[in-house]
Amino acid sequence: MPDAHLLTVNFPALLASSIHDMKNSLATVRALIAQLKGTCPEPPAREFEQLEFEANRMNNSLMQLLILYKIDSFSFNLSIDEHAVTDVFNEVIAQQSSLLSLSNIELTSDCSEDLFCYCDMTLIVNALSTLVNNAQRYCRRQILLTASRDNDYMVFCIEDDGPGYPESFISSDAKQTTQIDLATGSTGLGLIFVATIAQMHANGDNRGLIKIDNDSRLGGARFRLYLP
């Protein structure tokens, strides 16, 4: 019988390596889906769109896990540059609108064209897309993206017309809302990722943060991402 003490495995590194392998396989699956869609004589069926969405969602989750691993192992750096907020929103809408339209959900943005922020655009687009995906699960018909300046922060806001957050969720510390729920399959990964990426954005003594409430102008939940 093998000596268990000889099995010294670096499980975080093994997890990261496995994620890389899964992402490579998923990239092949996504490419095949795109090829099959291109051969369809008619507009792609709803099932095709759903398949593409789920593949992209899995890819985003794997990317988030990999980034969180790199952050934890001090091997990740943000790529900060100045970006127009409208460009950020346009990228989110381009990624999300097709599937949302299948569910008759309207995704719109309201933002001044003269708003700019310093951020890692790829990560912020991924974070906002994650929040839009979450809003999609609970909204009725509308999701609204807005942005505004609040003193030293740029505030990205995601609002919906759903029932809003449960009171227990709002009253709890945002840092404590990451419990794993095996009954629903909720891991809290998206929230952990968004909160972590927000905190990594810093300017002097100011760091990014997140806030949640039910003060949406659409009547539902409101999620705010603050970047310094």
- Tens of pLDDT along 121-138? 999 999 999 999 889 889
192 and 130 share one domain: yes
Residue 3 pLDDT more than 70?
no
Distance linking the first and last C-alpha atoms of the chain:
57
199 and 116 share one domain: yes
How high is the mean pLDDT of the chain? 84
- pLDDT value for 212: 93
- pLDDT value for 74: 83
CATH of residue 200? 3.30.565.10
Contact 158, 145 (CB under 8 A): yes
Q: Could you tell me the residue range of the domain that residue 30 belongs to?
A: 4-72
221 and 129 share one domain: yes
Stated pTM of the model? 0.81
Counting the structural domains of the chain, the total is 2
140 and 179 share one domain: yes
- pLDDT value for 16: 76
105 and 9 share one domain: no
140 and 181 share one domain: yes
